[in-house]
């Protein structure tokens, strides 16, 4: 038998040095033009569509904000509120818009709790501030997004929102995540309109089915035609007022007519030469985050590994002091004189840092565990356009799918932000956030929030990082981890995003941790007295890092369907 040997001449590059490999399994999306990162890839794509049409970062942010009400209805919204940071490259200015939901002027404690003094109750029933019409505060999302567009947008509103109207009319395919998130929101079944939209035969819309939103499209058309008046006046406002009255809700036409978003100065700090900006009150999350950064400046975090027990211990101790800092005197500045400069001062941070012990977790005072429950079902998106303008935006309905109420004929799913006031103000023995004098309930007031979008500039004052996260009280932990990851540990935005996260609140003794934390770190932290408690995933940061005018976008892998779109 004749044996034939065949010599295969493989191209040299297959085995040679030019073969491409990567140091990390996590890869940002790279561009030198515009980039949009949000918690839904279809909404990110609409943002880039607006950039390609000649719009700027603000135009894209408005389109993404409206689109997420369709693609991510548990958190994206027109019936909620939030905060937006805007950076304009030409003028080197940064703006902050507070469009947090505000309580109705008609809201009253007697209806909600059966008494004008809920702190006198032995057991308080939060049901009327959690689900149903009375749980909703006056929505600010439409006002805030349109205010941004009026001041800083380039394209006509019709051109910005027409792709969103088409998306609502055409519908989206129901994903596995959307199907199960609908099924987990029991409050949707309590409301006939929400049940009609999100269920078929008492079951959540099936995976792969098409969810169309014609009523929401009709509302957005009214907004295109009349701007803010298309939402806060006219037939939409009439629908709000009449349905609220029928269902014992508080919001009426006057609440809508009088709602205004507010331009505020952002707060910030110089962290190791990087200028970090975030949201001022009524955000308490911004104060938590800035406090934690200021505390960490007294420690050389860089000398530890990003996943070491020492790093986790310092993050935990800084976070718990940050949460303590926001738990008493932070609220709506229109109703309470927040001692902002004192709270975020370096002097105070130094005092808070001095009693951090590397050998043991700091103990909290023993107090009753009455706290405000803060929902994780917020969402964040980040945008940088080709000219270097940037938007960092975080907004929420409160709980997943908010109050569960959809205003009939409008498609607008409502928030449950009435849940976030400190109704136990004055209660003996309660000194946590539920009794905060800064956040006590008052009609017309905005509740304190943990949301805080972030924009960071490098040592040469160039735009460096745009980021933010959902996560309720865990938002500062998620944001702190990514900012320290890129600054202290010199990680790229993808690697910093995927670092295991921890969260430590105040006054709780537990340290919540993600499952990917190493067993060695777990044992050390437990021995230090942190009372380790396994958490679900912490946050979902949507981030853009800018290095030498190259943009690196990364959507957190912790929640499905997030995505980066680029020009």
At residue 254, does pLDDT exceed 60? yes
Percentage of the chain beyond pLDDT 70 is: 94
Report helix angle 475-487 to 285-296, nearest 10. 40
On whether residue 490 sits in a domain, the answer given is: yes
pLDDT tens-digit map of 310-339:
999 999 999 999 999 999 999 999 999 999
Beta carbons within 8 Å of 347's beta carbon, 6+ residues apart:
none
Taking the model in full, what pTM does it have? Answer: 0.94
Q: Write the CATH number for 525.
A: 3.60.20.40
> For tokens 């980021």, what's the residue?
467
Over range 197-202, report the average pLDDT: 96
> H/E/C letters for each residue in 194-220?
HHHHHEECCEECCCCCEECCHHHHHHH
At residue 356, does pLDDT exceed 90? yes
Q: What is the structure's pLDDT at 167?
A: 98
Over range 399-412, report the average pLDDT: 98
What is the number of structural domains in the chain? 1
On whether residue 14 sits in a domain, the answer given is: no
For residue 473, how many other CB atoms are within 10 A of its CB? 25
On whether residue 7 sits in a domain, the answer given is: no
On whether residue 3 sits in a domain, the answer given is: no
Q: One of 378, 410, 450, 541 is an active-site residue; which one?
A: 378
Q: How far apart are CA 249 and CA 128, in angstroms?
A: 10
On whether residue 115 sits in a domain, the answer given is: yes
Q: How far apart are CA 526 and CA 510, in angstroms?
A: 10
Q: Give which of 384, 338, 531 is closest to 51, Cα–Cα.
A: 384
Task: Please tell me which residue, 374 or 399, carries the higher pLDDT value.
Answer: 399
Handedness of CA 191, 196, 200, 201 (dihedral sign): positive
Over range 39-55, report the average pLDDT: 98
378 is catalytic: yes
**324 contacts 287 by C-beta, under 8 angstroms:** no
On whether residue 392 sits in a domain, the answer given is: yes
On whether residue 24 sits in a domain, the answer given is: no
Q: How far apart are CA 59 and CA 56, in angstroms?
A: 5
Q: What is the structure's pLDDT at 523?
A: 97
Q: What is the structure's pLDDT at 113?
A: 96
- 75 CA to centre of own chain: 9
**292 contacts 319 by C-beta, under 8 angstroms:** yes
DSSP summary character for residue 304: S
For residue 300, how many other CB atoms are within 10 A of its CB? 10
Handedness of CA 279, 44, 29, 460 (dihedral sign): negative
**544 contacts 467 by C-beta, under 8 angstroms:** yes
Handedness of CA 560, 561, 562, 566 (dihedral sign): positive
Q: How far apart are CA 114 and CA 273, in angstroms?
A: 53
Q: Give which of 380, 391, 378 is closest to 43, Cα–Cα.
A: 380
**Domain carrying residue 294:** 34-171+212-566
On whether residue 225 sits in a domain, the answer given is: yes
At residue 15, does pLDDT exceed 70? no
């Amino acid at each position: 038998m004749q044996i034939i040997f065949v010599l295969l001449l493989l191209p040299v590059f297959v085995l040679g040095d030019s073969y491409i490999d990567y140091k990390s399994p996590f890869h940002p999306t790279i561009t030198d033009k515009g980039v949009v990162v949000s918690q839904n890839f279809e909404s990110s794509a609409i943002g880039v569509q607006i950039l390609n049409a000649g719009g700027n970062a603000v135009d894209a942010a408005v389109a993404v904000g409206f689109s997420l009400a369709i693609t991510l209805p548990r958190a994206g919204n027109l019936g909620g509120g939030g905060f937006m940071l805007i950076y304009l490259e030409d003028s080197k200015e940064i703006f902050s818009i507070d469009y947090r939901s505000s309580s109705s002027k008609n809201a009253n404690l007697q209806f909600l709790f059966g008494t004008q003094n809920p702190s006198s109750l032995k057991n308080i029933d939060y049901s009327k501030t959690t689900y149903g019409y009375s749980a909703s505060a006056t929505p600010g999302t439409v006002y805030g997004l349109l205010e941004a567009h009026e001041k800083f947008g380039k394209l006509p509103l019709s051109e910005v929102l027409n792709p969103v109207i088409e998306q609502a009319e055409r519908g989206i395919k129901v994903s596995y995540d959307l199907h199960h998130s609908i099924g987990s929101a029991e409050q949707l079944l309590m409301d006939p309109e929400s049940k009609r939209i999100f269920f078929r035969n008492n079951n959540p819309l099936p995976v792969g089915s098409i969810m169309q939103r014609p009523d929401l499209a009709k509302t957005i058309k009214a907004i295109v035609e009349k701007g803010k008046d298309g939402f806060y006046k006219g037939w939409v406002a009439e629908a709000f007022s009449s349905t609220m009255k029928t269902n014992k809700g508080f919001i009426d036409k006057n609440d809508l007519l009088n709602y205004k978003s507010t331009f505020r100065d952002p707060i910030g700090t110089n962290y190791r030469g990087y200028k970090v900006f975030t949201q001022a009150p009524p955000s308490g999350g911004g104060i938590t985050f800035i406090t934690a950064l200021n505390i960490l400046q007294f420690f050389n975090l860089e000398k530890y590994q990003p996943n070491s027990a020492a790093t986790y211990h310092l993050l935990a101790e800084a976070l718990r002091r940050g949460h303590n800092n926001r738990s008493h005197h932070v609220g709506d500045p229109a109703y309470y004189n927040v001692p902002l400069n004192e709270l975020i001062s370096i002097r105070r941070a130094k005092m808070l840092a001095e009693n951090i012990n590397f050998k043991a977790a700091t103990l909290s005072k023993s107090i009753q565990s009455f706290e405000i429950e803060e929902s994780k079902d917020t969402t964040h998106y980040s945008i940088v356009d080709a000219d270097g303008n940037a938007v960092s935006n975080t907004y929420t309905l409160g709980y997943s799918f908010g109050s569960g109420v959809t205003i009939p004929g409008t498609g607008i799913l409502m928030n449950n932000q009435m849940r976030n006031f400190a109704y136990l103000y004055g209660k003996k023995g309660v000194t946590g956030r539920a009794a905060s004098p800064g956040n006590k309930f008052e009609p017309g007031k905005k509740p304190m929030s943990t949301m805080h979008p972030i924009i960071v500039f490098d040592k040469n004052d160039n735009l460096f990082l745009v980021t933010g996260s959902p996560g309720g009280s865990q938002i500062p932990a998620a944001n702190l981890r990514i900012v320290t990851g890129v600054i202290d540990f010199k990680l790229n935005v993808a690697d910093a995003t995927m670092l295991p996260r921890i969260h430590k609140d105040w006054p709780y003794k537990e340290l919540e941790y993600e499952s990917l934390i190493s067993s060695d770190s777990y044992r050390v932290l437990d021995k230090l007295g942190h009372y380790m408690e396994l958490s679900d995933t912490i946050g979902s940061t949507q981030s853009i890092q800018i290095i030498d005018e190259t943009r690196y976008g990364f959507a957190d892998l912790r929640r499905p369907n997030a995505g980066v779109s680029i020009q």
